[in-house]
Structure 1
Amino acid sequence: MKRIILLGVLSIFGFTACESELDQAPLSNRNASNFYNNETDFEQAIVGVYNALNYHEISQFFLSEVRSDNIYIAGLAGVRDWIPVSNFSRTLITNPLIANAWNDPYVGILRANTVIEKLNENVVPDENVRNRMEGESKFLRAFFYFDLVRFFGGVPVIDKIITPTEALAISRSTPQEVYDLIVSDLEDAIALLPETPSEQGRPSSVVAKALLGKVFLTMSGPTYNISGPGLGVDNTSKALTLFNDVIRSGQYGYVNDYASIFGSRSEDNADIVFSIQHINDGVGGNRGIGTTLPTDMYHEPWARVNMPFGGGVPSDGLITPSNQILASFEDADVRDDFSILRNWVDANGSTSNEAMITKFLDLADIPVDRFNWGINFPVIRYTDVLLMKAEILLKSGPSQEVDNIVNSIRSRAGLQPLSNVDLDTLLSERQKEFFGEGLRFHDLVRTGKVIDVINDWEDIDDTANVMNPMEANFIIYPISQTQIEVNPGLYEQNPGYN
């Protein structure tokens, strides 16, 4: 997949970052009417859809990881975009991180809609190839909408090519209506895709089952009396069936060494169900084929000593693991030393105790510049599938099967087994296992724990007293002011923000 990503970025498509939800007519030098002529054209077009995934890890890091009890940012002197996100500010409507989390998925939706609508047997006569292309496009469209519904609740559902003028009249759908499209697309993807991926980084029917299982589990979460990602319906039996299908497929399994799950030389391993592919091409320049994620995690004062280029989180907005997460790791837990650097020596030779995230920092594969780290980003891991299955099983209470799942993961981390694992224990294991991967806030929301857990944590960790109390309205984000102003009155702002 990494080879194909490069081809797509350099192709004649010319998609740019300025595309937005309101730019639903495809814009390029070679337009839709004269591009989709053969299978090669469609392969390049689909690579353009994959390339739109590059926003995902950045949005998940800043809007889920940073939003959670995993990260504490005092930010008393800073004006960085992530500080008000972390502190549950009510004034986020002009925040660029919020705008990007809305706009970027719609770029991918535009591209997917175009492929789906143009695809036909005249230009792609091979039915198997055509089915794969449609399946991949629908999987990706569902992926984009799943991000949107988790961050914003109801959003406009656009499932075909439309003009910018037509887009101005499309209001927000309900979360249920968004999920209807997501579920339909993933069910189609399951039917259309091959059982094994055609190439690393592409989905198969089994991958689509894993994502649909997570969708059903998310839908089953509580509503909190808001129009958010939880519908308060019980789809957990559907999710369990899908997770069991993934497990029984035999395509994935345990990786004994935790660190090797994430290394750039071993990243397509048995624990990775689906990941976003990146390239360190050794050239440099922000061409959209690498990731900036490690740079968004490590500290700029550390980088001055240890990196050959600038970048990193500046001192006025350091993103640091919370005291709570630091204290939660047992002494023998290998995930601690791999995921977190607790202290380091600065340019003056002094020891800094400002801990930082190093999970995706591969010093054996440093790029030419800070924009092009080649490390892939795991979206769904086999470990995640197992622990989501255990979460469902806990609806019937603790069991040996749940203990076995949790203890197999603890064993890899170098820890002793537990018994009678309950939901709080399971969430604690998920917190440490997936630290830095953008899952924590979603986990708390889905399990009904987010308000109590965040507020209890704030009472202890918010030593600078900069955080607003967690409330239900903060489960989703506001609609960006840029969207509100395009057609005043079209979108009603999410409650809790001003």
Structure 2
Amino acid sequence: MKNLTIQSIKVKSFFSLCLVAAWFVPAGCNPDLVGEPPMGRTEETFFGSATEFRTKLVSVYASLYDHYHFAANGWNGWITGIYLLPGDDLTENLAARTSLELFDGSLNPNNNQMSFSYQSCYKTVARANVILDKVRTVDISAMDNPEEIAMMEGEALFLRAYAYFTLFNVFGGVPIITQRIQLESETNTPRSTPNEVLSQVIEDARAAIPFLPESWPENYAGRVTKNSARGLLAKALVFRADYNSNDPADLQDALTVFDGITAALTTDFIDNFSAYTENNRESLFEIQAAQASALNNLNLHNDGAWRGVENLSVYRGYMMESGGRGDFNDASSTKFLVTEKLRNAFGSDPRLSVFSDPDDGFDGRIFQKYNKPDGVNHLTPPHGGSANNERVLRYADLKLIAAEAALKSGDVPAAINHINDIRSRARNWAAESGYGDGTVPADYPTGESSVPTVMQWIMNERFVELAGEGQRWWDLKRWHASGDMNLTGWDGSDANFSTALASPVQFDVNKHLVFPLPQAEIERNSAISENNPGY
């Protein structure tokens, strides 16, 4: 199923890349050839069928793998720590990512990981804009399967929205590019405000919904659906509300969008992290990981000029115990550990303990989501890349988003019900699977009326349910903006960031809530003259 989808979507990306290269390689200056038709395919003749549109769409999906690639920024240069490490749910055992763990001087405009993340997001934007340009300007009426081609507009809009959502949460205000760039003179785009970037996410996600199907045939499992766009839209609306004094219109809009989601919680919590239960009823969007036709070479990017050995996997060696396998997971430059803050407060919750191994060499602190319990992961030869999908949006996340929107809209009982739905699933799963005794986590009292109390329940529930999924830092920042908590003065103590490193955390709330734009972008883009404050 997944392999069919990935082969049908990704294997063709090589031809797409070659085609793009052909469009921009200058021909020799032989006057005898002036006016002669080109010898091969051109852009004007390429987009003539659903297959050819699908081939180009592949490259948009393929760009997402950059964020999970082992050699993103050179060997062992994975950048996933940007999304996982800055919060208070995970820490590292070695000082290999101190820009993110300690907010030290290495978090600067010349940080290569920041540059790679920024460039990868704009790669997604640029490729999505090509699809949007073609699906809107090419006459598809006489082609095979014009309905699928029309749906691709929704896919491209969602993927662009997701890229801008990432850019907003990492960098704040960035250039918004919604048209295909074809001239160098069009490359100098000024920065938009953070609120404008988030509004672009909302606009794109909302516009995507009418084009998208409720579901795809089984051989296309993993492609963007209406639920994908609904989930991102509802989430972005609550984020925008948080950054705008809990705007009631955005909160109500988020609830309306959430009510349209046709997903449900899985009975088994572990189904959300197993390679054998992917794209399930709780899933709204996943990065489709797989085995290349020959082997996954973790040194090779997903969409390079090589076929059969490209990396179609997700790298998670930093969240896996050493196994003596001799693969790249054992070579990880650091290990991500559950913080003492999280473990001390909620360590008895089976949603945390199930991902722990007491014999991991770190007193059970390596947080092995996607790798534990034994048997859920699927490692690919020869380097051990994981063919276990990365869950980007799932229904539990959105139920807690809806709980927050309901609470701030005055519906306290609805908020508590959403939280208790999540806790009931966890409790019942733990009892049935043997990971708990059926008492933890207990439901919260439905008669509670204190808004601050219930808001703390929501924050705690997201802390546990979504631990290690790249949600926590973005949550902390928006709750600081909304006044639900205060990050001012946070240090490395277990009351705050809870770092395992001896060196001090250098967090400055006036600087580090957004990360620096790459210096190369500021030097290249004449419309940007200043970086984020403090950089």
Question: Normalising by the residue count of structure 2, what TM-score does the alignment of the two structures yield?
Answer: 0.78
Equivalent of residue 351 in structure 2, options 335, 339, 353: 335
Match of 1:482 in 2: 520
In the alignment, does 2:96 pair up with 1:85? Answer: no
Listed as ranges, the matches of 1:420-439 within 5 Å are 420=448, 422-439=454-471
Paired residues for 1:70-109 under 5 Å? 70-73=89-92, 75=94, 78=95, 80=96, 82-90=97-105, 91-109=107-125
Whether 1:471 aligns to 2:482 is: no
* SS across alignment from 1:273: strand
Q: Closer, same or farther in 2 for the Cα pair 1:190/1:313, shift >3 Å?
A: same
1:67 to 1:253, Cα distance in 2 relative to 1, 3 A: same
Say whether the 8 Å CA contact 1:193–1:205 is kept in structure 2. Answer: yes
Match of 2:243?
222
Q: Distance in 1 between matches of 2:313 and 2:54?
A: 23
- Secondary structure of 1:384's aligned partner: helix
The answer to whether the Cα contact below 8 Å between 1:213 and 1:242 also exists between their aligned partners in 2 is yes
Please name the residue that 2:35 is paired with. Answer: none
Gaps in structure 1 of 5+ consecutive residues: 224-229, 345-350
Q: 2-side partners of 1:311 and 1:68: how far apart? A: 23
Q: Distance in 2 between matches of 1:314 and 1:132?
A: 40
User: How much has 1:256 moved relative to structure 2?
Assistant: 1.8
Q: Distance in 2 between matches of 1:104 and 1:41?
A: 23
Larger Rg: 2
Q: Find the counterpart in structure 1 of residue 73 from structure 2.
A: none
Check 1:429–1:115 CA distance in 2 against 1; reply closer, same or farther (3 A cut).
same
Report the CA distance shift for 1:203/1:11 in structure 2 as closer, same or farther (over 3 A): closer
Aligned to 1:318: 335
2-side partners of 1:144 and 1:96: how far apart?
19
Q: Which residue of 2 aligns with 1:227?
A: none
> Residue 176 of structure 1 contacts residue 231 of structure 1 at CA under 8 Å; is this kept in 2?
no
Q: Structure 2 vs 1, CA of residues 379 and 124 (structure 1 numbering), >3 Å: closer, same or farther?
A: farther
Any conservation in 2 of the 1:15–1:27 contact (CA below 8 Å)? no
For the 8 Å contact 1:212–1:242, the answer to whether it is kept is: yes
CA contact (8 A) 1:218 1:446 kept: yes
1:309 matched to which residue of 2? 327
Question: Which amino acid in 2 is paired with 1:264?
Answer: A
- Separation in structure 1 between the aligned mates of residue 141 and residue 60 of structure 2, nearest angstrom: 18
Q: 2:468 is aligned with what amino acid?
A: G
Matched, 1:445 2:456: no
Cα distance, 1:342 vs. partner?
4.6
Query: What corresponds to 1:297 in structure 2?
Result: 319
Deviations 1:234-255 (A, max 9, x none): 5111111101111xx3xx2121
Superposed, 1:175-214 pairs within 5 Å as 175-198=194-217, 199-214=220-235
Letter of the 1:440 counterpart: R
- What corresponds to 1:357 in structure 2? 367
After superposing the two structures, state which structure 1 stretch, 286-295 or 256-265, moved more. 286-295
1:215 partner letter: A
Is the deviation greater in 47-56 or in 433-442? 47-56
Question: Residues of 2 paired with 1:259 and 1:279: CA distance?
Answer: 19
Give the whole-Å Cα distance in 1 for the aligned partners of 2:529 and 2:370. Answer: 37
Query: Who is 1:495 aligned against?
Result: 533
Are 1:49 and 1:112, in contact at CA under 8 Å, matched by a contact in 2? Answer: yes
C-alpha distance in 1 between matches for 2:487 and 2:199: 30
The whole-number CA distance in structure 2 between the counterparts of 1:87 and 1:9 is 37
The one-letter code matched in structure 2 to 1:240 is: L
- 1:32 Cα deviation after fit: 3.0
CA contact (8 A) 1:298 1:313 kept: no
Where 1:122 maps in the other structure, the secondary structure is: coil
Deviates more, 1:136-145 or 1:405-414: 405-414
Two-structure CA RMSD over aligned residues (Å): 3.1
Q: Distance in 1 between matches of 2:115 and 2:57?
A: 25
- Residue 134, structure 1, aligned to residue 153, structure 2: yes
What is the CA–CA distance in structure 2 between the aligned matches of 1:130 and 1:455, rounded to whole Å? 51
In 2, Cα distance between equivalents of 1:98 and 1:361: 27
Correspondence 1:116 to 2:132: yes
Partner of 1:239: 254
Aligned to 1:171: 190
Code of the aligned partner of 1:291: S
- Contact 2:272 2:391 (C-alpha < 8 Å) held by counterparts: no
Contact 1:85–1:92 under 8 Å retained in 2: no
CA contact (8 A) 2:522 2:529 kept: yes
Deviation at 1:233, TM superposition (A): 7.6
- Paired letter, 2:6: I
CA distance in 2, matches of 1:326, 1:442: 20
Q: Distance in 2 between matches of 1:150 and 1:343?
A: 36
Once the two structures are superposed, what CA deviation does each residue of 1:274-306 show, in whole Å capped at 9, x if it has no partner?
11111134723135253333223225xx23x3x
**What residue number does 1:160 align with?**
179
Distance 1:357 1:408 in 2: 24
Cα distance change, pair 429–453 in 1 and its aligned pair in 2 (3 A): farther
Counterpart position of 1:372: 385
- Taking the aligned partners of 1:200 and 1:33, their CA distance within structure 2 comes to 30
SS in 2 for 1:475: coil
Q: SS where residue 492 of structure 2 aligns?
A: helix
Return the offset for 1:216. Answer: 0.8
Paired residues of 1:276 and 1:378 also in contact (CA < 8 A): yes
38, 42, 48: which one pairs with 2:53?
A: 42
Deviates more, 1:256-265 or 1:161-170: 161-170
Tell me what 2:297 maps to. 285
Which residue identity does 1:196 align to in structure 2?
A: S
* SS of alignment partner, residue 422 of structure 1: helix
Does the 8 Å contact 1:290/1:371 carry over to 2?
no
For 1:294, give the aligned amino acid: R
Q: Which amino acid aligns with 2:84?
A: E
Q: Does the CA-based 8 Å contact 2:317-2:332 persist in structure 1?
A: no
Confirm or deny: 8 A CA contact 1:61 1:436 kept in the other structure.
Answer: no
TM-score by length of 1: 0.84
Structure 1 residue 386, shift from structure 2 partner? 1.0
